[in-house]
Chain A
């Protein structure tokens, strides 16, 4: 069995690193020579992985154009050969590769665009979960409200960016010319899968972002209201908080509303 192990080791290293000499394993004969036979496997290897990057990063590939995309494919495949059983994880280091390697690292928006696409992919097949709705909220007696905590839907992600990568993504998705790259101070998007299992995203005001973060950290509605004091006058705070809550509920972003009463059963 040692023989098979050595043969497989040599062949995989030939396919992945293109260095190993393996023609000694291959029998002569037939209508094509040994090298052509090996090339069929080695071309298929590159083509397959290229196809995976192209599918997972469709918009990035439009943005880069053929030449740069080829450069990404060649560089990425040799820097991060697949060590996963599933091709689903093959592209997970694409943003890192873009961040670390020229010429891509000169344009940070490229890495952001790739990271945005990966966040969308994550939301696409994240765990299913129950979703809470407005009825669940309205069932609660008003004295329970301040203690409300939230478990968001497993597909919900926050995406932080410093360039207009989402606008570029949107333009390319609609086959329009993308806008010029622009630095933006700080912007955060929330991404989630809706009731129709379609991935949606929208940008967040700082006050809504902080409210989500407070809930994510295990805070309660009263903690959120306290936080909102730095953004809104006292008499508007509860209205703003309830608007956020109902927006999230209506958009399928919430799995469970946790109150002190149901916290034991829903934990």
Chain B
């Protein structure tokens, strides 16, 4: 299976642009938020080109609304394609979700009901986007806080079927699996083990906020022990998969994220040593 293993990376955030350009930290790759660079010019673009010289880049977007019912936003897709020909990323990802309807935008990653009708709708849109971008799309499982009455299958079967029918790849967010498992009362292991290895392109690792009865994927904390454990299981099952530390809020010094990245590498190393022993 060629999943283009990039190694261990960190999500590049505005606070760290200067640091990464000046210090060239020892990370294997960087993931950037596509929308941050869909601007005409200035500092963001300058930094993006500067980091691109030294690192493989993955473009991660938040606005595609692949599961939406408004028409695909051609203007957005055009800009995404332009950015991708400019940056030549390893791949382009977004989320398996919808963000708005009727022209209104929630700027959130909203879940859809899991059923065959929705699968058909999403597969069709993925194929259109893949056609436009000229490459396979990589889609991430989102955290969710509600279940729809219109769902008649499990999220993992929904994801597998979409990947199978559309040819898209999956960015498996380990934290999102954990958060959703706690919010919906399913087993994170069951989710993880149900996903077909051939679909996996990348892992995300992040932290969340625990409110006791429920969890929110705030991405504003260190990766917690439960997510590290689930990550070790994921490595055991899927082998070496490009892994990324994701932090969106309460951004610590770059070194802290770098340390988490090294921790992920250690876990992967240890798990695979044990596997082969």
Contacts and interface: CB of A to CB of B under 8 A. Distances in A.
A45 B43 contact: no
Given A12-B106, A16-B104, A7 B214 contact: no
B263 interface: no
B225 interface: no
Interface residues on B, range: 35 or more
Interface stretch (B145-153, B191-199, B238-246): B145-153
Nearest to B145: A40
A15 interface: yes
A153 to B, nearest CB: 10
- Which residue among B35, B63, B75, B101 has the maximum number of chain A CB atoms within 10 Å of its CB? B101
Interface residues of A, number: 50
B107 interface: yes
Nearest to B98: A8
A81 interface: yes
Interface stretch (A26-34, A100-108, A132-140, A225-233): A26-34
Contact of B102 (A7, A12, A27, A125): A12
A184 interface: no
Contacts of B113: 4, 7
Contacts, number: 138
B68 interface: yes
A124 interface: yes
A5 B183 contact: no
Contact of B108 (A8, A13, A41, A81): A41
Given A12-B101, A85-B73, A3 B63 contact: no
Nearest to A84: B105
Contacts of B68: 8
A89 to B, nearest CB: 10
B146 A81 contact: no
B46 to A, nearest CB: 6
A24 B150 CA distance: 10
A82 B69 CA distance: 17
A25 B101 contact: no
Given A44-B216, A45-B106, A49-B107, 6 more contacts: A4-B117, A5-B69, A27-B146, A84-B105, A86-B35, A125-B43
18 contacts: A4-B117, A5-B69, A7-B150, A11-B101, A26-B146, A26-B147, A26-B149, A31-B213, A32-B214, A37-B146, A44-B108, A81-B104, A83-B103, A85-B75, A88-B39, A90-B107, A123-B42, A125-B45
